[in-house]
Structure formats: structure tokens, C-alpha cells
Amino acid sequence: MPVVFVNGNPETGEVWGPLCAELGRSDVVRLSPPGFGAPIPDGFGCTLADYRDWLVAELDAFGEPVDLVGHDLGGAVVVAVAMTRPDLLRTWASDAVGLFDPEYVWHDLAQQWQTPEVGERSAAKLLGGTLDERTERMVARGIDRPVAARLAAGQGPEMIRAILTFYRSAVQPVMADFGRELPAAAARPGLAIVATDDHVGGSQDMRGRSADRAGAHVATLGGLGHWWMVQDPVRGAAALTSFWSESAA
């Protein structure tokens, strides 16, 4: 039963490296969404629906249900798949369930990206410059330097394009409208990962409400932030392993 990890923004699959090492499994696959560690195919729209359809096609190729885990933008895509194609999953886990709450408001940086001209300047400031400059920005945001350097190597103009397109396509009420189908995700065991110091995915109440609507368990990672899988890969791996074991019982 493969375990499939989907990264978010502004990342590549390298963000899962420390956690995957802790799992010590040989059946782990890291899938990077187009623009976030993988090329953007011609005609790909970079909307949530496009990313959902991309992930559906990737998972369908496995030929068996998988344990699916997503972070940030990738976490939203995981939930979208759980709502529409639960047959592809044994379980799903996401730290982005709060984005589907009707009261969710995009964080300040996302709102910059959603604003013409402001977004272009903001994204260029975040992802432009030399490899060393990009690495230092990721370190300043809480990523360990070795991982930060690997993430920075995958950043550039194509990621900027994906960021601006995705967030501009997801201005509310788009996410809330997707969230109307959250109860359908209960068709497979789900896990809402709540890192208490992560403030971009909605309040703990929002994340709790969305988890309830999706029929998902909650794993609370106290004191960890947005990049919980890098901050404490041991605790992150333990939460996932426990969830998978309980789901198999």
C-alpha cells in the first residue's frame, strides 16, 4: 500500500525528506504539483480543479488505493481528491482542511498574490534572486538550512506563475464553494493535521469544524508551525503512523 506525499507552496517534494526518512519505508512516493517541483504542462490551468484532476490521474496509475498526505496547497488538493475520488484512497491526511471553512479568509501573503501588480512584486521578492538569497529567505521562515537549500533550488519563474495563477483562481468564495462537498470525504478515513503555530490555514476552530464535516480525526501538533514536517519529523511521522495503524484495524 503506497504512501503518497504532495507538497505545497513555495516548495518541492524535498520538504518531505526528513519525515520520509523517519518513516523508514520503501513504498513512499513524493508527487510535486505542476509548478511546485514539476513542470507545468501546456494548457494546464493551475486552478484547484486542475490540480485535483492532475492528482487523480497520478493516483489512478498506481492501480491500488494509497495513503495520501498533503501539505499547504498540496493539502487542499488532497482534500479535493478525497471529496471526489475516495475510491483511489485507503486514507487521506491534510494540514489544509481549514481552507474549506465558509469563514476562511486568505492570509496576507495570499491576498498580495491575488492582487494584480502587487502579487507580481511580492512573488518576485520571495522567489527571485540567487540560490543563496532564496535559501536565506526559507531559513528565515523556519526551514532548516539543508532543506531550505534544496527547496530554493526548485524555485523560479515557473513557480511564480503557478502561485499567482492558483491564488487568483481561489479568491473566496471559491474555497468555500468547494467545501460544500466536505462530507463526501468521510467515505475514507481522514486525518486533519493541526499544527498549532501554523496561522495560514485558518483558526483551530475552522480546522476543527472542517475536520468534523469531513469525518476526519484530528492530530494536534502543539508548538509546531507551518513546516511541521521539517520542524519535528519524528512527531509528524508518529502521528501519521498511528493514524494508518488505527485505520487498518
**pLDDT per position as a tens digit, 223-235:** 999 999 999 999 9
Q: Is the CB of residue 217 less than 8 Å from the CB of residue 247? A: no
Which pLDDT score is estimated for 249? Answer: 67
Q: What pLDDT, on the 0 to 100 scale, is given for residue 248? A: 85
- Evaluate if residue 152 carries a pLDDT over 90: yes
Average pLDDT of every residue of the chain: 97
What are the CB-based long-range contacts (under 8 Å, 24+) for 42-50? 45/165, 45/169, 46/161, 46/162, 46/165, 46/166, 46/169, 47/165, 47/166, 47/169, 47/170, 48/76, 48/77, 48/80, 48/166, 48/169, 48/170, 48/174, 48/175, 48/178, 49/80
Q: Which whole number is the average pLDDT over 120-133?
A: 96
Question: Is the omega angle on the peptide bond into residue 173 within 30 degrees of 0, that is, cis?
Answer: yes
Give me the domains of the chain, ranges plus CATH numbers: 3-105+174-248 (3.40.50.1820)
Which grid cell sits at 12? 518541492
- The reported pTM is 0.98
Q: Where are the alpha helices (DSSP H) in the chain?
A: 17-23, 48-60, 73-84, 108-113, 118-127, 131-140, 145-153, 157-169, 174-179, 204-213, 228-231, 233-248
User: Average pLDDT of 192-221?
Assistant: 97
pLDDT tens column, 77-89: 999 999 999 999 9
Is residue 92 scored above 70 in pLDDT? yes
Mean pLDDT over residues 50-60, rounded? 98
The upper half-sphere exposure of residue 28, i.e. CA atoms within 13 Å in the direction of its Cβ, equals: 20
In the predicted model, is pLDDT for residue 1 greater than 90?
A: no
Average pLDDT over residues 213-232: 98
Give the pLDDT mean for 29-41.
98
If you average pLDDT over residues 3-21, what whole number do you get? 98
- Mean pLDDT on 76-103: 98
